[in-house]
Amino acid sequence: MLDKYPKLKGILHYLLVHPYTSRPRWWARTFLIPFVIKRGKGSIIRRKARLDIIPSKKIKLGIKSVIEDYAIINNGMGDILIGDYTHVTSRVKLVGPVILGNYVTIGSGAQITGLTHNYLDISKPISQQGVTPNQTIIKDDVWIGGNSCINQGITIGTHCIIASGSVVTKDVPPYSVVGGNPARILRQYDFKKQEWVKINK
């Protein structure tokens, strides 16, 4: 709706968000953001979590899901939807648009982003070229090891393990273990054999 009125949109954005830190102003963090977040029963957001939230985008936290201290949650470029029983541990960074399924656990220091920075115009600094949203999706029952990086536009399938320190640059099929930089599939579950099978290079 506000897209039809760019001047009004700009004024409202200025009132809500600091012009060059992309962080909501103190009054918005105190009086507005707590009412923007849709919270499931028993969900927890620790007091020291950093919530860079704007009301024009969605943020949802499912039943008994937790966002720990020092996590950074930013929905400035797209919705952040977190399922049930999902644990966003300390120092995790989520930059929307991102969808996390149910029973997802994210280790400390991991980063999941749903956007990329534009760089093609060499006459402008990259920092002034804006970003392009590209939704990242983490399906149910995924464990993401600490200090991993999940790039924009990636889909990680059900019941996957992402080894600590991995850099995931492409989609991960369900029931896979991946690791490395760039991450590659190390093991997959074979439903015929009913066991995890090592994948050779």
Residues known to be catalytic: 117
- 103 conformational bin, left if phi > 0, alpha if psi -120 to 50, beta if neither: left
CB 71, CB 49: distance < 8 Å: yes
Q: β-pairing, 183-190 with 195-198?
A: antiparallel
Distances (CA, A) of 75 to 81, 178, 188, 196: 10, 27, 33, 37
Rounded Cα gap, residues 102 and 87, in angstroms: 9
Helices (H), the chain: 6-16, 26-27, 33-36
Rounded Cα gap, residues 101 and 83, in angstroms: 5
Structure tokens at 139: 């399906």
